[in-house]
Chains A and B, each alone.
Chain A
Amino acid sequence: MSAPIYNFAYLDEQTKRMIRRAILKAVAIPGYQVPFASREMPMPYGWGTGGVQVTAAILGPDDVLKVIDQGADDTTNAVSIRKFFVKTAGVRTTTRTRDATVIQTRHRIPETALAAHQIIVFQVPIPEPLRFLEPRDTETRRMHALADYGIMHVKLYEDIARHGHIATSYAYPVKVDGRYVMDPSPTPKFDNPKMSDCPALQLFGAGREKRIYAIPPWTRVVSLDFEDHPFERYRFDATCALCGATDSFLDEVVTDDRGGRMFVCSDTDYCERRRADGEAA
């Protein structure tokens, strides 16, 4: 048994070309889910195989990669994916949002605004925003084709009728470029406004479900709402206990068994930069 030799960034060039074709189509039809022949990756489905395949297909030797999970660079899965690309592609990596050319993320968009030379790759578990309303792909495909999003509006309306407001706090559906309703991946809805008119290219990869979709730069992304119940961003009303930020999404950390809590930035790079800047000043 001879030791297998892997290509740059793991995937063979034919596979990368197939994925790039899907990405180009996705960019051409913003918010549309393009089927692609997702491969078995050496990490489990659900661990970001879609994002990893997209990143592998777009990565070049000069890229600088940042990988985050829950906003943090040091969560185990982010560490594992970063190491995977260091090993298979030998690319430089960073934790600084500003220095990265490719950012792979799970569940967050960095607080630092993205720039035109950057690509953000989202890991997506269930790409179909209508899936929990209609389990059949044959049906949801037809709904997208006809832009028939009635069931989604009914669902949001029923939320309001029952709870007084829309009871979706993450994976909050958006409409891309006035056409396709899209799942932003399970990011908290706090991050939704960052997707609109973003200078960076946003790519979404769902490995198990075999779909790729995209938001091209400077595309309008609107969170679904009603005139009398406009979309609201949610953020716990506290300041970060480490950097004092009042504008970042916060992780709640349980500090004892007597109800003690503290709140810290979920975006570790943002938090560290702020602390470094604070000390320098």
Chain B
Amino acid sequence: MYVAVKGGERAIENAHRLLAHARRGDPAVPELALEQIKEQLTLAVDRVMNEGSLYDRDLAALAIRQARGDLIEAIFLLRAFRATLPRFGTSVPVDTAGMAITRRISAAFKDLPGGQVLGPTFDYTHRLLEPEGGSDAAGEPATAPASADEMPRVTDLLASDDLIEPSASSEAAERPAGDLTRDPLSFPAERDLRLQNLARGDEGFVLALGYSTQRGYGRNHPFAGEIRLGDVAVEFFAEEIGFAVPLGHITLTECQMVNQFRGTATEPPRFTRGYGLGFGHCERKAMAMALVDRALRARELGEELRAPAQDEEFVLSHSDNVQATGFVEHLKLPHYVDFQAELGLVRRLRAEFEEAAAERARQAAQEAAE
């Protein structure tokens, strides 16, 4: 007899209960404290804040724990919460030139005003597993007196010689930046929306696209002009009192790629820019973002459009991992009726195929007999 193949309310409730148990794991092991995630899985927290488009370390840590460490699921949790938040306004643009620097390196100049500051980086570690937990062996923190030197951005140094294109024009800066979470993205998209899309985009996807430009699919000859990590002040212009009030500090990673450009009939030869910016410490993402940003400027700079990373519709339509995971995984939802309709079609095509084969055999037999 027909058994209920269709799920029900109880099945869902049981699944949720089972999930809660699986999430918790062995109850003999203490539950992860949010402080532990926030303090010790900082880069995971940073990634979730970035792609979740919400700067809140507490909520990101909560989301990571609730998602069992699945960062895309955590990003999704944060995004869904963010969508319900009222919007009071837009901050004054943050000034990364005035950043309180934790790390600042340039691959373009050996030395520069303010110097190179290595900061906390994996770059020169040997990737050997340390079972004793290198963390508890951290010992005394490395300290240095705060530098009083200015740390001008490398691109600003180049710009003073007109060797690099100017930063976005002042009228472009006057125009309020677009927001693809409030207005649907349409194509062609301006650079502000492209950058927002990339900042929210999946780190792996943006990384792979950036990598592809280095391997010749839309090569743009990049130099890591500068990567800086540190804290910037966020200010909000309050109409009521007529001046900008500080809201607090956030940690940002900024990457300015400097790319070759041979010039055109109307444009002098000079370097161009690719830009990456993200919450927290997110160097891989910021660098990849800068490569893809530059690749997506191909149309604007009159370059030939040939590679996936230069294809705005392709890149921007597929970068969002919450959308991507949803649509890929929705294939596990029931598709009974469509499959049934397809079965009908295949059966019909099969019947016609077999009829035709039988007809051919009959004709061949007839011809052989004649």
Contact = CB atoms under 8 A, between A and B. Distances in A.
A222 interface: no
Given A4-B84, A40-B79, A46 B333 contact: yes
A42 B80 contact: yes
A272 to B, nearest CB: 13
Given A234-B341, A250-B340, 17 more contacts: A4-B81, A37-B183, A39-B181, A40-B80, A45-B326, A46-B329, A46-B330, A74-B9, A77-B334, A80-B12, A83-B9, A107-B337, A137-B187, A167-B345, A171-B338, A189-B341, A253-B5
11 contacts: A1-B58, A11-B84, A37-B182, A37-B184, A40-B76, A41-B83, A46-B330, A46-B333, A70-B336, A83-B9, A188-B340
Interface string A116-156: 00000000010000000001111000000000000000000
B11 interface: yes
Contacts of A266: 336-337, 340
Interface of B: 2, 4-9, 11-12, 58-59, 76, 79-84, 86, 181-188, 313, 317, 322-323, 325-331, 333-338, 340-345, 348-349, 352
A164 interface: yes
B337 to A, nearest CB: 5
Contacts of A42: 80
Contacts of B8: 74, 76, 79
A108 B352 CA distance: 28
Interface of A: 1, 4, 6, 10-12, 35-42, 44-47, 49, 69-72, 74-77, 79-80, 83, 106-108, 125, 135-138, 163-165, 167, 169-171, 186-190, 208, 210, 234-236, 241-242, 249-253, 255, 262, 264, 266, 268
Main secondary structure of the interface of A (DSSP, over half): loop
B65 to A, nearest CB: 13
Nearest to B331: A46
Nearest to A263: B340
Contacts of A106: 333
B337 A210 contact: no
B336 A47 contact: no
Nearest to A171: B338
A249 B329 contact: no
Nearest to B333: A77
A249 B184 CA distance: 36
Contacts of B340: 188, 236, 249-252, 266
Contacts of A79: 7-9, 12
A165 B330 CA distance: 30
A263 to B, nearest CB: 9
A189 B348 CA distance: 15
A75 B84 contact: no
